[in-house]
Structure 1
Amino acid sequence: MSVLVLHRNPFEPFPYDRWLADYPGEIVVLAAADKLRSFGEPVPTGNLGFDRLEFLERFDDDEEVRKHALELAVEFTVDRVVAHHEADVDTAAWLRERLNLPGAWPADLLPFRDKALMKRLAQRAGVEVAPHTVAGTAAEALAFAEAHGFPVVLKERAGYSAIGLRILHDRAALADSLAEAYSAGPRTDLLIEAFVPGRMCHVDGLVIDGRIVLAWPSQYQYDLASFGSDPGARVDLTLDPDDPLTDRLLAMTARLVTGLKRAEGRQYPHAFHAEIFHTPDDRLVLCEIASRPGGAKIREVFHAMFGINLGEYATRAQLGLPLPALAETLRGGPPPRPRVMSGQVLMMKRPGVVRAVPEAPAESWVERFWVYAQRGQTIPAASGSADFLAAAIATAATRTECEHRLRTLGARLVSQTDIVAEP
């Protein structure tokens, strides 16, 4: 019995050694060294208590990652594969199918990875989606924009972390983007869709035996796609239990998760992260959903609310280990309700020389705090919506109080940060 973990994240938020202390088999980890460095973690010289810890400098080459993963899986007779980064779930699924292992295979993941298929299945399940099309040529994309109006959104069908996502407000901006995107000719991996106004909500949770056993909605108070240009504090808040949106979002997500399961597919436990627009005219419109734990500090927000880390419980569920905080729910009871409201405040990296970083907050309601840069360090711009300079988790009895705390804290973090352009 052994598990292979594919890991392109820092280790601090993913303490597999602690999460899997009762796992009776071998734990093998293949990690990306560059991701540790980008979050200020040294690349370890030991194995961190794992049976094997192996590094690639980066996970950019899918074939190289698959080659090393397969070699490790064969050497250790792996019978489970775990991956929690959106860019690694395909490799994990490929490896499971190749070795006939339990868990999601590529066909099972496709509705969560192919945004065009995802939206088609969502509509079939009664979930509203934005008008969209897979534009094979620049002319087709321009025709879509002329038919549906501006702004439009251009994104990769299998993209993640808002990388490469473009919101284009007029024909000239679209034409420039399309000239670059289609410079090599027709392609089928780009999606163009009508812009949906409103605030983005997200629902995160865990599915076991085809049933949602844990879920809760939150609402971003910022634009995800602005990660490269936003110097301020980005606040994300959970919704109160009596908020009119809470039950609507939970019900919509339940329809969506059910609708994306293939009738002939495999049952497998998984976390999910669904992003849903709440429009000014009170509609809920799907943006997309992923079959893995949410990024940023969503895992830690859930721990503050429920005493459950989504990353930990998704990992343990996939290995068939006990889930004590969900024991009653797994016996047929209702999903747990949050004990407090929570949220996160995030600051994105921006390029330059770091002259000052925020100080650790002393308030008792600050559950966790992180800084990912040091004085004197030269850092690049944020490479995605999860490339942070600093982050904090706060709790309160209500969303309103939590928002006040997070915004007050965020303003202080901004005032304490000093980054200047390189000379």
Structure 2
Amino acid sequence: MSVLVLHRNPLAAFPYRRWLSGDAPGLDDRTPYPGDLVVLAARDKIESAGEQLPGPLDHDFTHLDLFGTLDDETVPARALALAERHRITHVIAHHEADVALAARLRERLGLDGPRSADIRPFRDKALMKKLARQAGIEVAPHTVPGSAQEARDFAARHGFPVVLKHREGYNSIGLRIVADPDELEARLADAYRDGPRDDLLIEAYVPGRMCHVDGLVVDGRTVAAWPSQYQYDLASFGVDAGPRVDLTLDVADPLTPRLLTLVERTLAALKPEGSRLRTHAFHAEVFHTPDDRLVLCEIAGRSGGAKIREVFEILFGIQLAVQVTRAEAGLPLPAVEGAVDERGLLRPRCMAGQVLTMKRPGLVRSLPSVPDEEWVRGFWLFAEEGQVIPPAGGSADFLTATVGSAPTRAECERRLRALGARIVAETKIVPVGGEEA
């Protein structure tokens, strides 16, 4: 057994060899994973997290290739060559941008796991919304505008604001909420300067608060899922200097069962009979409108970003990335099997949430101290004092991240907001050669 990993994240939080250890044939939980572990990693994601690039002796992989970015056009051919050289048996990819390449590699090599047809409904937002709507799930009015005029016509029918996004986008990169015709014209002039295209989506703006549901499916059955609610606008990552709070919903919240039911229906709509996507995480985003409707925004067949995996671990006692890594490597999931109840489900043990701050351009003069509150379950800094940093390039480009817990959502919110205010007050970033920003 040998594994190839497409890795578009910081490295420190992904100890793959330890995650793969134990519970393979002939191994116990103290025996290291003995197979080849080949990793293709993104240098930009490692450096943007403030981590040092690993040298030849700084990792336990069989082979590590570092690329400036995994969008490098040489990555697919290199991945295939390494897969053939190391006789790879399983391909792992946690990031939305890499699941399609992982599927193509499985197809080319004849390996187990989801193929392109299984992944496409979760990557192609137009197909996703079509399948959801056919299943009776409400989605925003939308179209794929082949030309600027088609986008103008859509805006004329549905009014402003409208939302422009990439059909296979992620992390809110390229997403624009367009307020009026003048802004639309400026966006369209740039988007269609090279002529017609079919990789954009325009949709009507849906008012309301964005909820998300995160979960784990094992062998085609959801064993753990829970809803949360963003207390901020995802698309504001480039201008938001304050704390961004995200909270789980209480068990007794009337939205909780509605959101869980909606997501189960969505998963069924996107995974027809015969789908090879059997064990996976998911991250669904759903609008809760002022008139109490639930409107599906989108759903991904992988775990959520930010520190959602860590929040999930607080809730259920299992780490999504660990379980998905093991599943994609063909290994059993004893942590899940030992935790489910008689109905095969995991139940949340408390409420939890995260508070995030985004990178801002400039020289980092000071960063917050590590919180010492007992309810804080994790704290991360993604820059160093004295470092010059760029602005946030997406909704996952954080300066700090903190996860915490509480018995109730209300108490969790109180704790996280107070801590977020302190983190902002202790952070000082100044323009290069200028005064405080």
Structure 1 residue aligned with 2:397: 387
Matching residue of 1:27: 37
Q: Would you say the 8 A contact 2:364–2:430 is kept in 1?
A: yes
Distance in structure 2 (CA, Å) of the matches to 1:351 and 1:267: 40
Alignment-derived partner of residue 259 in structure 2: 249
Task: Tell me which residue corresponds to 2:7.
Answer: 7
Quote how far apart the aligned CAs of 1:57 are: 2.4
2:312 is aligned to 302
**Residue type at the aligned position of 2:141:** P
Per-residue displacement from partner, 1:11-43 (whole Å, max 9, x unpaired)? 122121221122452221111122111101111
CA–CA distance in 1 between the matches of 2:58 and 2:278? 29
Counterpart amino acid of 2:203? E
The answer to whether the 8 Å contact 2:340/2:346 transfers is: no
Distance 2:341 2:354 in 1: 32
Q: CA deviation at 1:261?
A: 0.8
* Residue in 2 that maps onto 1:370: 380
The two structures have a TM-score, normalised by structure 2, of 0.94
Shift of 1:319: 2.1
Distance across 2 between alignment mates of 1:252 and 1:193: 20
Q: Given residue 343 of structure 1, which amino acid in structure 2 is its aligned partner? A: G
Distance in 2 (alpha carbons) for counterparts of 1:79 and 1:286? 36
- Mapping for residues 332-411 of structure 1, pairs under 5 Å: 333-411=343-421
Per-residue CA shift, 1:25-72, capped at 9, x if unaligned?
2221111122111101111112511222221222122x3110111111
Separation of aligned partners in 1, 2:278 and 2:360: 39
Task: Provide runs of 4+ in structure 1 moved above 4 Å.
Answer: 328-332
Contact 1:268 1:318 survives alignment (8 Å): no
Which one of 48, 69, 92 corresponds to residue 59 of structure 2? Answer: 48
Equivalent in the alignment of 1:276: 286
Is the contact between residue 213 and residue 329 of structure 1 (CA under 8 Å) also seen in structure 2?
A: no
Give the alignment's TM-score, normalised by structure 1.
Answer: 0.97
> How far has the Cα of 1:407 moved from its partner?
0.2
Change in Cα spacing, 1:304 to 1:3, as seen in structure 2 (3 Å) is same
**Contact 1:103/1:269 (CA < 8 Å) preserved in 2?**
no
Name the counterpart of 2:71. Answer: 60
| 2:16 aligned residue | 16
Determine if contact 2:215/2:224 at 8 Å carries over to the other structure. yes
Q: How does 1:135-150 map to 2 (within 5 A)?
A: 135-150=145-160
Partner residue, 1:181: 191
Q: CA deviation at 1:139?
A: 0.5
Q: Does the Cα contact within 8 Å between 1:32 and 1:56 map onto a contact in 2?
A: yes
Q: What corresponds to 2:335 in structure 1?
A: 325
1:157-168 matches, within 5 Å, as: 157-168=167-178
* Counterpart residue number, 1:132: 142
Distance 1:332 1:52, change over 3 A: farther
The answer to which of 216-225 and 14-23 deviates more is 14-23
Comparing 360-369 with 14-23, greater Cα deviation is found at: 14-23
Please tell me the root mean square deviation across aligned C-alpha atoms, in Å. Answer: 1.3
* Structure 2 counterpart of 1:84, one-letter code: H
**Alignment correspondent of 1:99:** 109
Q: Tell me the CA shift for residue 230 of structure 1.
A: 0.5
The match for 2:210 among 194, 200, 207 is 200
Identity %: 62
Task: Indicate the larger mover: 210-219 or 396-405.
Answer: 210-219
1:401 aligned partner, one-letter code: E
Code of the residue aligned with 2:11 in structure 1: it is F
Return the match for 1:412 from 422, 425, 435. Answer: 422
Residue 322 of structure 1, CA deviation: 2.7
The whole-number CA distance in structure 2 between the counterparts of 1:13 and 1:268 is 25
Q: Is the 8 A contact 1:8 1:32 kept in 2?
A: yes
Alpha-carbon separation, structure 2, partners of 1:265 and 1:126: 21
CA distance in 1, matches of 2:264, 2:338: 20
Q: In 1, Cα distance between the equivalents of 2:282 and 2:343?
A: 20
Task: Quote how far apart the aligned CAs of 1:173 are.
Answer: 0.8
- For 2:63 and 2:222, the matched residues in 1 are separated by 33
Give the partner amino acid of 2:389: I
Partner of 1:315: 325
Shift of 1:104: 1.0
Q: 1:422 is matched with which residue? A: 432
Give deviations 1:232-274, integer Å, cap 9, x for gaps: 0000001111111111111100000111013343243111111
What is the CA-CA distance between 1:358 and the residue it aligns to?
Answer: 0.8
- AA aligned to 1:12 is A
- Partner secondary structure for residue 383 of structure 1: coil
- CA displacement 1:157-210 (0-9 Å, x = unmatched): 000000000001111111110111011111111100000000000011111222
Deviates more, 1:42-51 or 1:177-186: 42-51
- Mapped partners of 1:208, 1:291: distance in 2: 12
Provide Cα deviations, 1:268-296, integer angstroms capped at 9, x if missing partner.
Answer: 31111110001011111011111111100
Counterpart amino acid of 2:343?
Answer: G
